[in-house]
Structure 1
Amino acid sequence: SLKITRRAMLSRGVSVVRNQTLIVNLPGSTKAVEEALAIVLPQLEHGLRILKGSAHDCARK
């Protein structure tokens, strides 16, 4: 995000797992949400597999 706006450092993005739900904190503007999701969504499937214990190797694509 810092490549897009200097104010990105003010964002407090977090992700948590509660029960069987992944909760992802996204920015407040629609444009920033689109930019953040463009980064998060392609990696989401692998991250969920890690959480479920069905994937283990994070160092490879």
Structure 2
Amino acid sequence: MNTDLSQAHWFKSSRSGGSKECVEVAFLADAVAVRDSKHLAGPALIFAAAEWDSFAAAAEAGVFDHDR
């Protein structure tokens, strides 16, 4: 998939605390892009909207939580 991200509106989670060690997300017309906030010109991962919705639901449900 070759997606033009030049006009994407990127944002960090409000829970990032201003740290530069975060990921940024951009919601596109039919997909969601994710990039490393330390490498703004670097590559981005592109997910179909349904894939992102499944990931977000699993994260909210605690599927990825683990004991430290």
Is TM more than 0.5 here? Answer: no
More helix by percentage: 1
More strand by percentage: 2
- TM-score when normalising by structure 1: 0.35
- TM-score when normalising by structure 2: 0.33
